Amino acid sequence: MQSLGELLSRGLSLPFPGPVIGMMLLLMALQLPAVREPVAACANFLLSHLSLLFVPVGVGVMTHLGLMGQYGVRMMAVIVLSTWLGLAVTVLVLQAFRGQRDA
């Protein structure tokens, strides 16, 4: 779907990136059982091995412990602040959409 999205994006000079178009095509294709079932099987496999994806992050943190000691408090502050800011924006957008729907 991503390749098809890239072809459509470049071939038709669309203002959207190919991966975005590919995700929209995948969303539409997931309505078909012939697409939904293999994607679900692959997703379940990846989710069952999700913990392996955290290994490189852990190794990276251990490799740069000096930087963590030097900038750890600042990084934690940025992570916490950006998380709360993202949550707040999400809440405000959802409330705006909910208000439009109720009107």
Q: How confident is the model over 48-95, as pLDDT tens digits?
A: 998 888 888 889 888 988 888 899 899 999 999 999 999 999 999 999
Return the domain boundaries, the chain.
1-48, 55-103
Q: pTM for the complete prediction?
A: 0.53
Distance of CA 84 to the CA centre of its chain: 17
Cα–Cα dist 41/21, whole Å:
23
Q: How confident is the model at residue 103 (pLDDT cuts 50, 70, 90)?
A: low
| Type and span of the H or E element at 67 | helix 65-102
Cα–Cα dist 21/23, whole Å:
5
